[in-house]
Amino acid sequence: MIEVKGLVKTYGTKRAVDGVTFSVRRGDILGFLGPNGAGKSTTMKVITGYLPPTAGSVTVDGIDVTQDPVATKRRIGYLPESAPAYGEMTVTEYLNFLADIRGYRTKETRRVQVERAIGLTHLDGVRRQTIETLSKGYRQRVGFAQALLHDPAVLVLDEPTDGLDPNQKYEVRLLIRQMAAEKAVILSTHILEEVDAICNRVIIISQGKLVCDETPEKMHARKAGARLDEIFRQLTLTDV
């Protein structure tokens, strides 16, 4: 579903992403790890078409993101870091606006999509509240509902469980796992146990370079008995 080939992204003279290559198939839940500033968010921003790549290519469902950005954006559900949203709108107004833009032009089809997303993310209790009055956890869920709204084939989630309490984290993970069978999911995280809990593949990048692309089991096998964070430390130690 997603093919990233030799992706390079530079900001001024700084190379944020330096020749990253990987692919994500349908059914994959890819855990995207790396220290802060390693280039995780930048890679996601290029995949979702927010930033143009400096070099290399990204295709989603066979379509290059620079050739036909609107077509790839239709296929992607994206939860940006810290889940930005139009704060002055209520939850239903916001989701209705997004459904409209996602091509659900009749009131009835919009309602179906919005209700589905609200149901999946348990937002029913706050649907008439404006987003700026919601707590961090609820805001994160609104962002999640926004990403799931059009039932996209590709989900790109930048720290989806950030700011959630343990119960909410559990629910979000359950939700991702349930949907993963027919989707390609990329999620970035700092929580290493999350990788064990839901991911079937792990990618670690450090200083913009790929240092590891394998299954969580294989990663555990790198050092028998060691915890995941020890292995992570070893792989990214140069990046301090």
Partner 1 sequence: MSQICPLFKREFLGYFRSPVAYVFLVAFVVISVSLSFSPFGGFFGSNDASVRLYFSFYPWLFLFLVPAVGMRLWSEERRTGTIELLFTLPVTRLEAVLGKFFAAWAFLTLAILSSLTLAFTIAYLGQPDWGVVFSTYLGAILMAGGYLGVCSLMSALTKNQVISFVLGLIACGALLMLGFSGFTATLESFLPVAAADAIANFSFSTHFEGFTRGIIDARDVVFFLSLMGFTLFLNVVALDR
Please give the Cα distance from 167 to 220 (Å, whole number): 26
Distance between CA 43 and CA 8 in Å, rounded? 9
Three-state SS for 8? strand
Is 131 an interacting residue with respect to partner 1 (CB under 8 A)?
no
Q: Exposed/middle/buried for 217, CB within 10 Å: 0-12, 13-18, 19+?
A: exposed
Residue 166 exposure: Cα atoms within 13 Å on the Cβ side? 1
How big is the site for partner 1, counted in residues (CB under 8 A)? 27
The three-state secondary structure class of 2 is strand
Tokens of 40: 């995780």
**146 touches partner 1 by CB under 8 A:** yes
Sequence-distant (≥ 6) Cβ neighbours of residue 35 within 8 angstroms: 206, 236, 239, 240
Single residue of 31, 34, 80, 216 touching partner 1 by CB under 8 A:
80
Q: For residue 136, state whether it binds partner 1 (rule: CB under 8 A).
A: no
Shortest distance (Å) from residue 88 CB to partner 1: 5
* Nearest distance from C-beta of residue 146 to partner 1, angstroms: 7
Looking at the Cβ atoms of 104 and 232, the one nearer to partner 1 is 104
For the window 39-68, what string marks contact with partner 1 as x by the rule CB under 8 A?
------x--xxx------------------
**Which is nearer to partner 1, 97 or 200 (by Cβ)?**
97
Q: Is 137 in the site for partner 1 (CB under 8 A)?
A: no
The answer for 64, left when phi > 0, alpha when psi is -120 to 50, beta otherwise, is beta
Contact of 206 with 43, CB cutoff 8 Å: no
In the list 85, 91, 95, 204, the residue contacting partner 1 (rule: CB under 8 A) is 85
Return the half-sphere exposure (C-beta side, CA atoms, 13 A cut-off) of residue 212: 25
Q: Does 84 bind partner 1 (CB under 8 A)?
A: yes
**Identified binder of partner 1 from the candidate list 6, 88, 229, 233, rule CB under 8 A:** 88
Query: Which residue stretch of 3-11, 25-33, 84-92, 160-168 sits at the interface with partner 1 (rule: CB under 8 A)?
Result: 84-92
In whole angstroms, the minimum distance from the beta carbon of 9 to partner 1 comes to 14
How does DSSP assign 137-205, residue by residue? HHHHHHHHHHHHTT--SEEEEESTTTT--HHHHHHHHHHHHHHHTTSEEEEE-S-HHHHHHH-SEEEEE
Q: Is 72 helix (H, G, I), strand (E, B) or coil?
A: helix
92-111 residues in contact with partner 1 (CB under 8 A) are: 97-98, 100-103
Nearer to partner 1 among residue 15 and residue 97 (C-beta): 97
Question: Among residues 130 and 168, whose Cβ is nearest to partner 1?
Answer: 130
- Interface residue list for partner 1 (CB under 8 A): 45, 48-50, 69-71, 73-74, 76, 78, 80, 82, 84-89, 97-98, 100-103, 130, 146
